[in-house]
Structure 1
Amino acid sequence: MGTAYKRIVIVGGGTAGWMTALAVKAAQPGSTVELVESEEIGIVGVGEATFPSIRDFHASVGVDETEFLRATHGTFKLGIQFRDWRAQGEHYFHTFGNFADVAGPTCLWGQYRRVDDPTLGVLGDQCLPTVMATQGRFAKPPKDQGNLYTYAYHFDANLYAVFLRTIAVKRGVRRTEGRIVEVMRRADGGVDRLKLEDGRAVAGDLFIDCSGFSSLLLGRTLEEPWVDFSHWLPVDRAWAVSSAPTGAAITPYTRATALEAGWAWRIPLIDRIGNGHVFSSRYIDEDRARQQLLDQLDGPALAEPRLLRFTTGHRERFWVHNVVALGLSSGFLEPLESTSIMMIQRGLHHMLEALKPGVPPAAPVVDAYNRSMTKMYARIRDFIILHYCLTGRRDSEFWRDMVTKELPDTLVFKMHAWRQTGALNLYSTAEGFESSSWLAIYAGMGTWPEFLDPVLNEVPLEEARQALRQRREQIAAMAATMPAHDDYLRSVLRK
């Protein structure tokens, strides 16, 4: 049985385009895969911080980790350090690890609160990758203990796109260089072909829009409406700039520092540091925001800062007729939790599941895809809002407004369940973050339930104290045996 779409055309390169090209070529061997991009347009491509799911993508398309790190100037990432979010001068970590049991008599956080012993330190001391990040250490988790923690990467997004393009072209993806000047439609409203500036035409059966913020096919051509999230997430600008390395150790984590009207990112690469300031133009002007970014730099800026403008939200539908949008062309959530590539992956996965051999997806399948993507955006939106609404800061209009905003009902329910019962409630589908992530943010922001589950009393108090102390000591001992992140990275790159 043949494929329903003999000709699959991807519009736009960059991370989204070339990830899509690799994945589609592997999953649809009976189709031609053609990617159209113009070197004149360029890509957003800043220093990129990622989510652990990127390792699943690399495994699925056969990307070697060492080759990837070398090609993209990559480093390892254990999570994110949040500075000045709860209050100025305070920080906490959200790392890719677990806190053991999160329910029942042996619930780790519950016993930690019940014991209430300052000598146990912060809850993060009970999470191995948090201790590793604090100490600047890194090692891959042992294969037989893979549930202890996981990791992601930092890398240069421009170099990543080039890296993926080289692999994809070798595997048979056709790359067409050219600027699209017209999109020709079919009688049913779908896209028939693309007209390029030099007169060539690129025809296809399925078009995947990876054209970035311009959203050439889904937004401009099909005029799919925008669902606006800026009421909850008012940041709408970002200055981005690279700075020179300082010679200090390369940290195995991203840093997010809360500022007057937004926050600044710091992403360490091998040869430079990626920096940015995400802010709301309602609360601060662009020039002041630019200066606040420059004031954050550890070393000299390597270029003039670039300004990006955006609106948080997504297209009402993601798959319309024979057009599917992935990446920035489908929507944008601010990069606070490094979810951009993970969302591309999710969309790719669901799209490829729908592309069964023989016939195009039926309307209910496309509808299910759109519902799934809509839920994913809403769930991740809620998790990002959580960082803002729990703050104790009242030192600027931005932070005062963020804690008084009306929240989405889905987030209100989760927060109520946590505060009243200690339940880390997760909906059944499309969750972007596991319960351990929600716990890390609640704990880091000092937000705890009003009541503790009486079942915790089934464990004698001294026994609970000893178990927590023992786990803390074991984690500290494990981290102490690990190499510094710099040393581990060098050993990997020498292979």
Structure 2
Amino acid sequence: MVQRIVIVGGGAAGWMTAAAMTASRRGRGSVELVESEEIGIIGVGEATFPSIRAFNERVGIDEAEFLRATHGTYKLGIEFRDWHSVGDRYFHTFGNFGSLLGPYMLWGQYRRMADASLGEFGEQCLPTAMAMQGRFVVPDEDGGAPYKYAYHFDATLYAAFLRDFSMRRGARRIEGRIVEVIRAENGDVKRLRLADGREVEGDLFIDCSGFASLLLGRAMKEPFVDFSRWLPVDGAWACPCERVGEALTPYTRATALEGGWAWRIPLQSRTGHGHVFSSRHIDPDVAREQLMAQLDGKPLTEPRLLRFTTGHRERFWVRNVVALGLSSGFLEPLESTSIFLIQTNLAHLMTLLEAKAPLDETAIADFNARGAREFRRIRDFIILHYCLTARRDSALWRDMATMDLPDTLAYKIDLWRHHGVLHQQQDEGFDETSWLAIHAGMRHWPQRTDPVLNELPLDHARDILQRRREAIARAVAPLPPHHAYLARLMNLAQGAQRPAR
């Protein structure tokens, strides 16, 4: 049994791990986290996936307290600007488009109609309509939630919040810089030596040391699987700016640019901006200038440059070392999956640690296989945003439109293009509705109409679509603006009821 767990590195990955471990292992061994104030964390504004709510609820975090502490806002999804062509936009939100099969298949009937009077396809999805109008309320989950939501927050503040939360529940923080990783004869990590000479021993070491990958990458020398053949972005400029105006958009924005794309993440106290770019396609200094042109208001700091390679370690668990977060791999933040990947691998690890079965080679091999599959599935989903572009106005977009696709993605695109099938594989990070949102947003529809759609008379199909659109519009109209809902929540005492609609 694992008695002593040592987490290497703080940040969101480290303290999320500590929070989860202390919540589930009370009285069953120790949880220690080693971090150094000398080593900074990435700490940009973070956009997330709805699974973050499940994590917070599982470890016992109150939503209002969390949002206050992290300057957080709500997120219904992402607005994509200029991805298909300059001037276009579409949304990928956490809702649905009705039935995906049979004659009542809404996307199929919408495509069959090709009727401008039916409005945008996104108007058939409740959270998309909410996002378009900047409105937000938490759904009535007791009655069956019609949509999911996530958050935007300050990643540095989130790590600090989780640190205090975890330490109150028994986690021990050790301040110190690791200068040596001492391994046993069998290859396990035995202990860590700090700069002041102290040593930290453990049974299981969880590497949350970020891009440095101090244990898995440096000490264990685990090879890296490079995805830059398909995802060439290798740098990002990040710069927060002053919040301008009262409105807070309940969504992230991703704007396609000449050599990459720019993010916009609204927080209560500021707005996070960044430019993810490919240095093969644009000079970093030009990318910096383009970022500064995107800012809503006055910059609060000098832009900071981050360098990375997309991909992951071949294995995530080697001997008694498990890597979570950036130490295991990195996918560009286009769909806000960094924390999601931490969560899914952490959840799998927790399941194995809590099971009575021994941690044998089969269990570890399954952990590694699942982790690699998930990276590949999300990689394919991100590539989809690029490869369907109609843009040919710069080298990046010409290259992305004509590149050779991974076989797994090429197969899924072929099934959709020729048969209208939204194929799902094992360990998908995104469901059929998400894939549909991107296909529709990029105007990539099947080449033929499913004959089953003709079983519904045109007038009947049009009536269904129009009624759904009108019902969604009526539901959205009385909802409060996002900033107003959030302000009321922040003014309530902890533990009080949510603000009224």
TM over 0.5: yes
**Normalization by structure 2: what TM-score?**
0.97
Unaligned runs of 5+ residues in structure 1 are none
In 2: Cα distance, 1:456 partner to 1:8 partner = 56
Distance, in Å, in 2 between the alignment partners of 1:48 and 1:251 is 15
Partner of 2:449: 452
2:245 equivalent to 1:247: yes
**Residue 285 of structure 1: how far off its partner (Å):** 1.1
Matched with 1:274 is: 272
Structure 1 equivalent of residue 20 of structure 2:
23
The answer to whether structure 1 residue 485 and structure 2 residue 456 are counterparts is: no
Larger mean CA deviation between 147-156 and 394-403 belongs to: 147-156
Equivalent position SS for 1:111? helix
Q: Report what 1:114 is aligned to.
A: 112
String of CA shifts for 1:219-243, please: whole Å, max 9, x gaps. Answer: 0000000000000000000000100
Tell me if the contact between 1:5 and 1:360 (Cα under 8 Å) persists in the aligned partners: no
Q: Given residue 420 of structure 1, which amino acid in structure 2 is its aligned partner?
A: H
Mapping for residues 79-478 of structure 1, pairs under 5 Å: 79-356=77-354, 360-427=358-425, 429-478=426-475
Distance 1:318 1:395, change over 3 A: same
* Corresponding residue of 2:495: none
For residues 476 and 269 of structure 2, what CA distance do their matches in structure 1 show?
Answer: 26
Give the partner amino acid of 2:434: S
CA deviation digits over 1:172-197, x for unaligned, max 9? 00000000000000111010000001
**TM-score normalised per structure 1:** 0.98
The residue that corresponds to 2:497 in the other structure is none
CA distance in 1, matches of 2:6, 2:449: 55
Structure 1's 399 and 487: CA in aligned 2 closer, same or farther, altered over 3 A? same
Aligned residue identity for 1:269: L
Q: For 2:42 and 2:354, how far apart are their aligned partners in 1? A: 33
CA distance in structure 2 between the partners assigned to 1:172 and 1:45 by the alignment = 25
Q: Does structure 2 conserve the Cα–Cα contact (< 8 Å) formed by 1:25 and 1:31? A: no
The CA deviation string for residues 28-50 of structure 1, in whole angstroms up to 9 with x for no partner, is 23020000000110101100000
Q: 1:57 aligns with which of 46, 55, 58?
A: 55
- Alpha-carbon deviation of 1:148? 1.4
Q: Is contact 2:35-2:175 (8 Å) kept?
A: yes
Shift in Å, 1:146: 3.5
Structure 2 unaligned blocks of 5 or more: 493-501
Say how many residue pairs are matched.
Answer: 491
How far apart are residue 117 of structure 1 and its match?
A: 1.4
Q: 1:356: Cα distance to partner?
A: 4.0
Q: Distance in 2 between matches of 1:348 and 1:395?
A: 42
Give, in angstroms, the shift of residue 119 of structure 1.
0.2
SS at match of 1:258: strand
The answer (yes or no) to whether the contact 1:237–1:310 under 8 Å persists in 2 is yes
Query: Alpha-carbon deviations, 1:134-193, whole Å to 9, x = none?
Result: 100001111244341110000000000000000000000000000000000011101000
Equivalent residues of 2:246, 2:483 under 8 A apart: no
Amino acid at match of 1:169: M
Per-residue deviation at 1:129?
Answer: 0.5
Aligned residues: CA RMSD: 0.9
Identity %: 64
